[in-house]
Amino acid sequence: MYSLIQVFYAAERRGIYPQGLKIDKNSLQRRPTHDIFSLSFFVTLFKDSFMQNSIAETLLPNGKKVFCVNKDEIPALYEEIKDYFKSGIEIFEESTVFDVGANIGLFALRIFELSNNNVDVYAFEPIPNIFEALQKNAQCFAPSRLKVFPYGLSKESSSQNFIYYPNVTVWSTTYPDNSKREREKVKRIVLTDIKKYLPSFPWLNWLPPFMRSFALDKILKIAFQQFEQVTCQLKTISEVIREHGIQQIDLLKIDVERAELDVLLGIEASDWSKIKQIVVEVHDLERRVNKIELLLKENGFTRIDKDQAKSFEGTDIYYLYASR
């Protein structure tokens, strides 16, 4: 049996452990191989990779350089962007797009690629650290057409506490769920579509398959335990429409980690007709998919498709695509 230090030297030579990971090899040399099954081992291994709050630069798979908070999550986040463009969702030049839950702006960057940079994107991100990266990306790629706002959208204008996860920023939400059930769901997502998530979890590549589930349990437990509470501002879609004199929203994209219904309830009756297409990630809690489908039908959307990405199979996460 190989020792831990032999395993990690092999991983180092192959370049397959996480970016920024620092390993105390002297400490590993003294650890027995079976110690890989202890939580303390994983804490030691990944402690320098966690809680990275500073803005960094990284390369996207297409070679474009972007600013981000956590480099390791970017490959998976980049791959997920394609899931928004299904079931007839289209983007044309001179369109107006709302990106609600923009994170660092990868969806907006894709929109610009599809439209020859000839669209207006309104991107909303309430978490200050994430917004800083979004703002830097906007300044680099489309300072006049990518308009960024340091607040979220909801059913009413207010201040609200968010839970911010620096290690996995896409989990940040005003409706946190740190339960074991939620960790099991995230683990299932990764293992169901492991090819998609390997760039974000490269160390899975050198673990035998039977150990991947156990290792993810340990890492996710640590990640869920490390968070910050931040107070963020919220407005409604209708408020933004009035403030900026928006006549039409050609595409409304919503990905807000369990707050999607709140966002839609912030649209006043007179504004629904201004929205031509919607794509929304829905967490099907308390039959939320059915509630949103009904809301969309009541407001004039004639084509509504439900889909589930491969990585979400067996979970309560779906995409709804709606058009008139």
| CATH class name, domain 56-163+230-323 | alpha beta
pLDDT higher than 70, residue 196: yes
Cβ proximity of 324 and 301 under 8 Å: yes
Report pLDDT for 53. Answer: 60
Report pLDDT for 300. Answer: 97
pLDDT higher than 60, residue 309: yes
Alpha carbons 316 and 248: distance in angstroms, whole number: 31
pLDDT band at 92 (very low <50, low <70, confident <90, very high): very high
Bridge partners for 97 per DSSP = 121, 251
Would strands 96-100 and 228-235 be described as parallel, antiparallel, or unpaired?
Answer: unpaired
Q: Which two tokens stand for residue 185?
A: 């769901």
**62-66, 124-128, 291-295 — which is least confidently predicted?**
62-66
pLDDT band at 217 (very low <50, low <70, confident <90, very high): confident
- Residues of the chain with pLDDT > 70, as a percent, come to 84
Model pTM?
0.86
| Structural domain spans, the chain | 4-49+177-226, 56-163+230-323
Report pLDDT for 52. Answer: 54
- 226-261 tens-digit pLDDT: 899 999 999 999 999 999 999 999 999 999 999 999
pLDDT band at 47 (very low <50, low <70, confident <90, very high): very low
Report pLDDT for 115. Answer: 95
Report pLDDT for 9. Answer: 47
Report pLDDT for 72. Answer: 85
- Residues of the chain with pLDDT > 90, as a percent, come to 67
pLDDT higher than 70, residue 23: no
pLDDT band at 160 (very low <50, low <70, confident <90, very high): very high
Report pLDDT for 43. Answer: 47
Once rounded to an integer, what is the mean pLDDT over residues 44-61?
A: 68
Q: What is the mean pLDDT of the chain?
A: 86
Residue 246: closest CA among 51, 102, 135, 98: 98
pLDDT higher than 70, residue 44: no
Once rounded to an integer, what is the mean pLDDT over residues 60-82?
A: 92
- 260-306 tens-digit pLDDT: 999 999 999 999 999 999 999 999 999 999 999 999 999 999 999 99
Cβ proximity of 39 and 218 under 8 Å: yes
Report pLDDT for 83. Answer: 95
